[in-house]
Structure 1
Amino acid sequence: MFSTAKCGHCGKTGTKVQEISPVGAAYKQMAVCCQSCSAILGVTGYYDSGTLLKQAERERAELSQKVQRLEQQLISISHRLQR
């Protein structure tokens, strides 16, 4: 049998999910809040964290390609200087 959770602040039932931006945090978060008084009952990761991860992976791959091109250019310059 299930029971209905009550807000520890106002005693009412019902929740909502709300985006929050904590001061000093690098990322947004999602908070489970009381529907009546908006007291935060719990916090979860921001739903868009997957997108942030994909963006970081893409940027890393681009940097890796740039480093490879620079290495090839340095090898080419080195061979020319040795002639």
Structure 2
Amino acid sequence: MKRYIAFVATTLLLLFTSAVAAAEDSEAFQGSIYPVPELTPVDSELLVQVGDPMPDFSLPAIDGSTVSLGDFAGKQNFVLSFIPAAW
């Protein structure tokens, strides 16, 4: 039984290390999923300070409708997350 457990553990370790090595060598792992543009001073200028109210904006939702930040005004906490290339 101990030999079986040692065999399974060794096999899993080898599979894990080969998967990690393959992921590190892949092109997607190197940050080339999408092109990252150079930031100019205009793009990196801070327009909203910590504690200031957020300006109203609208974004497309998953279902195709448009969602505005103003729709959530006065509600509980609001979390906005940008996940590029997540689907």
TM-score, normalised to structure 2's length? 0.32
Higher strand proportion (structure 1 or 2): 1
Higher helix proportion (structure 1 or 2): 1
**Higher RCO (CA < 8 A, seq sep 6+):** 1
